[in-house]
Amino acid sequence: MSDPTVPSAGGNHCAPAPVAQPERVDPKVLELLVCPLTKTRLRYDETAQELISRAAGLAYPIRNGVPIMTPDSARELGESDIRA
């Protein structure tokens, strides 16, 4: 019987690389967060991994599941972003 922790002598088999999934942000956290500049509600864009403040015209990034809520880290929204 072979030990499952020891690689087999059959060669190096590469497993397929895992597909990156967007980090999920706790919905309870999203309910509590507001824009630090305008104190208005934020919209969660799961695809872009951003919290959108239409009032401030900013998108705050989410990195490794953690919202980065500093204006210096935010990107300015374009007209099409604000209307979406």
| Beta pairing class for 43-45 and 75-76 | unpaired
| Cβ contact 53:42 at 8 Å | yes
- Given a cut of 60, whether residue 1 has pLDDT beyond it is no
Domains along the sequence of the chain with CATH: 27-83 (2.20.25.10)
Tokens (6 digits) for 45? 């864009």
Q: Is the pTM of this model over 0.85?
A: no
pLDDT tens digits, 27-76: 888 899 999 999 999 999 999 999 999 999 999 999 998 999 999 999 99
Residue type, 75: R
